[in-house]
A and B are shown apart, each in its own frame.
Chain A
Amino acid sequence: MRSSGRCDLADLSTRSAYNVAAEGEKHDFDPAPEQFAIARTEEELRARLRLEQARGAALERDLETLRSSESFRIGHALVEGVQARLRWNVLGMLRAAGERLRRGRPTREADARPQARGGRARGGRVTMFVAWGVEESRLEDYASRVERLHAVLVEFRPLFVVDSLEAEPVRRRGYPIEYLVPLTEWSKYRPAHEWGPYVTQRMAEVGRRHQPGAVVILEGASAPSALDQGLLNPILLPSIGAGDDNQL
């Protein structure tokens, strides 16, 4: 079979990959094995491109669904709140830093944020996904959605906050996880009233360490809401995590 003229990628889907000629030339083509391999590779890439385009469209739909969900709207409002505080509370932060220095507490360096492993080594701000009261099967679903989002919106770094040790769906994907003992678990070992200080200090640590720029609450069925339990208080108001002293 003979062909002539330039062959661009778009043609590959409808024409035989065997019939590829050099630009500007017209001649009979008897494909050499390496040219055959190149053409096959191009064809495979084309197929992958189509697949990615289809995935992209699906992700756009997912993103739209997520944006219109209550969780996202709450999370978005939280982020706005955090950012507004960061903008307007600079003096307060300076005062807090001065206080820390006076107290001689160790400070954490800005670059102490964990470096990502493997696929997490990309830049971008940290988005904290709070999977509170989410059972493992649901977590699998959420982790998979976040993974797809991450593929599209590469400029963010997912961080999961979970209240279950059964977090393999997240660990398998290499995303960092912070675990907090849930109240029900805590109450088996310690007085319930100590859970508030615990969760406040832990979340303050998480906030300092990862410095999330956005928070998304992933709904779970098996625990009271993260908002009701004050989980995000130290993120919204960092000074809450600075101490839990009985002020006289």
Chain B
Amino acid sequence: MGRYGLCPMTTYDYDIVLLSDLRYPGGNSASLAEEIKAQAQAGYSTGLVHLRAPHMVRRRSFNRKIMHCLSAGLADLVPPDRQVRARALVIRQPRLFTEDISMPLRIRADATLLVVNHPPVDGLCGLEPYYDPAAVRDRIADLFGDVPWAPIGPLVREALLDSGVALNLRADDWVNVVDVAEWWVDRSRFRSDRPVIGRHSRAHRSKWPSARSDLLGAYPADHGVAVKILGGADPAIQLLGFEPASWTVYPFGSLAPQRFLREIDFFVYYHHPGWIEAFGRNIIEGIASGCPAILPPHFRQVFGPSCTYAEPGRVRAEVERLYGDPQEYRSRSEAGVSYVEEHFGATRHLRRIRDLIGEPAVAPGSYRTGERRPLPRVLLVSCERTGAGSVTRLVRLAAGMGGRLDPVLLGPWPAIGLAHQAGLLCEPISDDELDDVNDERLVQRILDTAAVHGVEAIVLDVHRSTAAGRLAAAAGVPLVLTAPQSPSGGGGGVASVVTVRWDDPSGSDDGGAALRVPSAREEPLTGEAARRMLDLPEGQIALLCPGGDARSIATPRLWPTAQTLLAAGWAVAFVEPLLHRSDVRLPEGVIRVSARPLARYLRAFDVVVAPAGYTLTCELVAAGRPSLLVPFGHEGDRAARAMAAHERGLALAVREFAEAPIVAAAERLGDPAVRAQLTEACAGARMEDGIPRAVDAVERAVRSGRPLDPVGI
């Protein structure tokens, strides 16, 4: 039986082989990439064969979209002279065959077709056609037999019919497809206090109207409407003789199209009357982003009811009408997106592939496609040099974002390991970036990460006012600062950004006010269960030393205390560092604890000797653990927090790190009555989960879209 069970004698190398010139910079390669993605998603295997098109004489690399597909393993690159057996061979671009093929192509397929994405002639090609359909047909027939031609749209079909050459035309068009999720933008608000018209195309005269009146009709030059152009506008500026002040022109390739489409309200595309736009990939990308599109009437046969068709002189009136009726605007936006999904989405491509070769033989692999309506991405940044409290807070914040926002964490090594263990997408900040006194490298790293992930907001935890100030100025997306309330006062935010303040249980002086603490991701275990899981001895007072930072076990300053308490018959546990097992030899008898998250296991211990970090203090109060707060690590706030907690009766504390008072205080905690008193005080502290409020604040910032001219509907 063959691999696919179709024919006992047939084995296939690939379900589908795509043959084209993989260097095309535009829509040809973009369409190939979309088809590869759709095929991978459905479980079809794809081989790519590169054939040089004779008219592509300039040396150039493969299109980046193709490279990315190869990098991600969505397709294999197959040498053109290799013998390949496939269920389907899809050739794209007739101009590959304007000359005889010099190398042997040894691709055999059960079904073959030629996707025709270019008309043989148009009004701009002059006397020389782009290709001679008859010659192309004959060359292909020599290689692969009688191959059906599949135009990508009615305009190309018409051009082929007009050529008068006898061609085996498929009945249906092989339209280009897009991944709508990759383009979709929330259109619940307008971009500015006036309509913003946009277009994305090459700065070639074929792509612009040839008459001045048409040009100004479609792209007004007054300030009533803003015009944004991606791809350059030299031909238009030449025609007008000036660049209108209300136009913003981005050079070709200077902005990602997705980013550009987020800046506009309407996609308006008018080109040279002599140009046959074979399809208009830029248009479906615009519609997929939710922009209502306004186009010349001849596009109706391609895009059907998804767009508004008008002569250039009617564009402005249509724009103003929709801008004045937000409900109608949203309705047009949604209708356009739905139309693109149905007619130009991945499912359309998969339907025609199924019609051609049937179902994929293997189940879909691990390939993950985008969500239909992707969540806004946010970057959560911790730049706390030591300790894991900041990353812990952000991990919990991320957990609270489920279904509303899509977080990625950036934090210091090794604390970022907590985020990784919690199943979050994360990246570390390197030590030298954190050590930079001017925060320049740190800020650059944050900005680079924000750009690479395409985030819509940045959340920065912990006070680094220099970094916060620089970020606020340069981020280009809303910045949210989160910071623990400082018991010693200060720690103010940066103007013009949203600040979320975690209330400090020890520092609060308003007696009985709600205390907000980041909630634990998992429910804490009961004391008995936690003890069992950690294998703690019975009948001894169990003491936990979480240490002062992420390398906690390497804190030998507590060793003498540990030895004294061990000698007194206590069970003493130190927390292992994150990510790796320490090779530090601890005092004999000390138990190593590596279980995470720590908050889940706190009830296993009778006593905790801890640094007075914000997050751990919150967790200890929430868990009602009798604690001795020892300010080491970040002496400033921690000393103040330890003293404040002591004054409120929530914990014992020492002012300085010295063995004698620590041992004395720890021994006080050996008294059950003292422990009971502390536990009772902690139970009296009202602890409110601050995560939902923080998530609300971040979501509001994202929705506001600042600093993108936040004028809402």
Could you tell me which A residues sit within 8 Å of B by CB distance? 99, 102-103, 106, 108, 112, 114-117, 136, 165-168, 171, 176-179, 181, 183-202, 205, 224, 229-231, 233, 237, 240, 242-248
How many residues in B have their beta carbons less than 8 Å from beta carbons of A?
67
Give the residues in chain B near A193, CB-CB below 8 Å: 33, 37, 68-69, 72, 74
Q: Are B580 and A196 in contact (CB under 8 A)?
A: no
Chain B nearest CB: distance from A207 CB in Å? 12
Chain A residue nearest to B416 in the complex (CB): A165
Give the residues in chain B near A178, CB-CB below 8 Å: 430
- Given A103-B251, A248-B27, A196-B282 contact (CB < 8 Å): no
Give the residues in chain B near A196, CB-CB below 8 Å: 64, 67-72
Chain A residue nearest to B432 in the complex (CB): A114
Contact partner of A183 among B73, B428, B431, CB < 8 A? B73
Chain B nearest CB: distance from A172 CB in Å? 9
Q: Are A240 and B430 in contact (CB under 8 A)?
A: no
What are 18 A-B residue pairs whose CB atoms fall within 8 Å in the complex? A99-B251, A112-B440, A165-B420, A165-B428, A166-B579, A166-B580, A176-B432, A183-B72, A189-B425, A197-B68, A200-B68, A202-B452, A240-B61, A243-B253, A243-B256, A244-B256, A246-B281, A248-B281
Interface set, chain B 217-274, CB cutoff 8 A to A: 231, 250-257
Interface set, chain B 155-203, CB cutoff 8 A to A: 181-182, 200-202
- Given A171-B413, A188-B368, A246-B71 contact (CB < 8 Å): no
Give the residues in chain A near B686, CB-CB below 8 Å: none
Give the residues in chain B near A201, CB-CB below 8 Å: 448, 451-452
Instruction: Tell me whether B441 is interfacial, beta carbon within 8 Å.
Output: yes
Contact partner of B71 among A116, A230, A247, CB < 8 A? A230
Instruction: Tell me whether B48 is interfacial, beta carbon within 8 Å.
Output: no
Chain A residue nearest to B421 in the complex (CB): A165
Give the interface centre of A114, A190, A193 by most chain B CB atoms within 10 Å.
A193
Q: Are B68 and A195 in contact (CB under 8 A)?
A: yes
Give the residues in chain A near B254, CB-CB below 8 Å: 102-103, 243
Q: Are A233 and B420 in contact (CB under 8 A)?
A: no
The docked-state distance in angstroms from the alpha carbon of A52 to that of B61 is: 49
Chain A nearest CB: distance from B552 CB in Å? 15
Instruction: Tell me whether B414 is interfacial, beta carbon within 8 Å.
Output: yes
Contact partner of B417 among A165, A189, A195, A224, CB < 8 A? A165
Q: Are B448 and A177 in contact (CB under 8 A)?
A: no
Give the interface centre of A136, A176, A202, A246 by most chain B CB atoms within 10 Å.
A246
Q: Are B67 and A247 in contact (CB under 8 A)?
A: no
Give the residues in chain A near B428, CB-CB below 8 Å: 165, 177, 179
Q: Are B427 and A115 in contact (CB under 8 A)?
A: no
Interface set, chain B 7-59, CB cutoff 8 A to A: 25-27, 30, 33, 37, 40
Contact partner of A248 among B201, B440, B579, CB < 8 A? B201
Give the residues in chain B near A200, CB-CB below 8 Å: 64, 67-68, 71
Q: Are B427 and A181 in contact (CB under 8 A)?
A: yes
Q: Are A245 and B69 in contact (CB under 8 A)?
A: no
The 8 nearest A-B residue pairs measured at CB = A196-B68, A230-B71, A247-B25, A196-B71, A114-B432, A189-B425, A103-B254, A192-B72
Give the interface centre of B69, B200, B255, B432 by most chain A CB atoms within 10 Å.
B432
Instruction: Tell me whether B369 is interfacial, beta carbon within 8 Å.
Output: yes
Could you tell me which B residues sit within 8 Å of A by CB distance? 25-27, 30, 33, 37, 40, 61, 64-65, 67-74, 181-182, 200-202, 231, 250-257, 281-282, 285, 366-370, 406, 408, 413-414, 416-417, 420, 423, 425-428, 430-433, 435, 440-441, 444, 448, 451-453, 474, 579-580
Q: Are B435 and A117 in contact (CB under 8 A)?
A: yes
Give the residues in chain B near A230, CB-CB below 8 Å: 67-68, 70-71
Chain A nearest CB: distance from B406 CB in Å? 8
Q: Are A245 and B282 in contact (CB under 8 A)?
A: no
The docked-state distance in angstroms from the alpha carbon of A184 to that of B250 is: 36
Give the residues in chain B near A179, CB-CB below 8 Å: 427-428
- Given A165-B420, A187-B366, A246-B257 contact (CB < 8 Å): yes
Give the residues in chain A near B256, CB-CB below 8 Å: 243-245
Chain A nearest CB: distance from B441 CB in Å? 7
Chain B residue nearest to A247 in the complex (CB): B25
Q: Are B252 and A247 in contact (CB under 8 A)?
A: yes
- Given A230-B71, A245-B253, A246-B65, A168-B580 contact (CB < 8 Å): yes
Chain A residue nearest to B258 in the complex (CB): A246
Contact partner of B64 among A114, A168, A229, A240, CB < 8 A? A240
Q: Are A199 and B440 in contact (CB under 8 A)?
A: no
The docked-state distance in angstroms from the alpha carbon of A117 to that of B431 is: 9
The docked-state distance in angstroms from the alpha carbon of A232 to that of B707 is: 35
Give the residues in chain B near A246, CB-CB below 8 Å: 26, 30, 65, 257, 281, 285
Chain B residue nearest to A192 in the complex (CB): B72
Q: A179-B428, A196-B69 are in contact. List 18 more A-B contacts (CB 8 A).
A: A106-B474, A112-B440, A165-B579, A171-B431, A176-B430, A178-B430, A183-B71, A188-B425, A192-B366, A193-B33, A195-B72, A196-B64, A197-B452, A201-B452, A240-B61, A242-B253, A247-B202, A248-B200
- Given A181-B425, A248-B26, A117-B251 contact (CB < 8 Å): no
The docked-state distance in angstroms from the alpha carbon of A217 to that of B64 is: 23
Give the residues in chain A near B281, CB-CB below 8 Å: 246, 248
Chain A nearest CB: distance from B526 CB in Å? 32
Give the residues in chain B near A167, CB-CB below 8 Å: 413
The docked-state distance in angstroms from the alpha carbon of A181 to that of B423 is: 13
Give the residues in chain A near B441, CB-CB below 8 Å: 112, 114
Give the residues in chain A near B435, CB-CB below 8 Å: 117
Chain B residue nearest to A198 in the complex (CB): B452
Give the residues in chain A near B448, CB-CB below 8 Å: 201, 205
- Given A117-B432, A165-B417, A247-B252, A224-B61 contact (CB < 8 Å): no
Chain A residue nearest to B255 in the complex (CB): A245
The docked-state distance in angstroms from the alpha carbon of A139 to that of B69 is: 29
Q: Are B368 and A187 in contact (CB under 8 A)?
A: yes
Give the residues in chain A near B430, CB-CB below 8 Å: 114, 176-178
Q: Are A191 and B368 in contact (CB under 8 A)?
A: yes
Give the residues in chain B near A177, CB-CB below 8 Å: 413, 428, 430
Chain B nearest CB: distance from A223 CB in Å? 11
Chain A residue nearest to B202 in the complex (CB): A248
Give the residues in chain B near A165, CB-CB below 8 Å: 413-414, 416-417, 420, 426, 428, 579
The docked-state distance in angstroms from the alpha carbon of A195 to that of B67 is: 11
Contact partner of B282 among A102, A189, A191, A248, CB < 8 A? A248
The docked-state distance in angstroms from the alpha carbon of A177 to that of B427 is: 12
The docked-state distance in angstroms from the alpha carbon of A196 to that of B71 is: 6
Give the residues in chain B near A199, CB-CB below 8 Å: 71
Q: Are A191 and B366 in contact (CB under 8 A)?
A: no
Q: Are B579 and A195 in contact (CB under 8 A)?
A: no
Give the residues in chain B near A231, CB-CB below 8 Å: 71
Q: Are A191 and B440 in contact (CB under 8 A)?
A: no
Chain A nearest CB: distance from B555 CB in Å? 17
Chain B residue nearest to A185 in the complex (CB): B425
Chain A nearest CB: distance from B28 CB in Å? 11
Chain A nearest CB: distance from B234 CB in Å? 13
Q: Are B432 and A237 in contact (CB under 8 A)?
A: no
Q: Are A108 and B444 in contact (CB under 8 A)?
A: yes
Chain A nearest CB: distance from B564 CB in Å? 31
Chain B residue nearest to A241 in the complex (CB): B64
The docked-state distance in angstroms from the alpha carbon of A165 to that of B368 is: 23
The docked-state distance in angstroms from the alpha carbon of A224 to that of B70 is: 12
The docked-state distance in angstroms from the alpha carbon of A168 to that of B554 is: 14
The docked-state distance in angstroms from the alpha carbon of A179 to that of B257 is: 28
Chain A residue nearest to B582 in the complex (CB): A168
Chain A nearest CB: distance from B70 CB in Å? 7
Chain A residue nearest to B431 in the complex (CB): A117
Give the residues in chain A near B416, CB-CB below 8 Å: 165
Contact partner of A229 among B30, B71, B413, CB < 8 A? B71
Contact partner of B367 among A108, A192, A237, CB < 8 A? A192
The docked-state distance in angstroms from the alpha carbon of A233 to that of B448 is: 19
Give the residues in chain A near B61, CB-CB below 8 Å: 237, 240
The docked-state distance in angstroms from the alpha carbon of A244 to that of B65 is: 8
The docked-state distance in angstroms from the alpha carbon of A205 to that of B408 is: 18
Give the interface centre of A102, A117, A248 by most chain B CB atoms within 10 Å.
A248
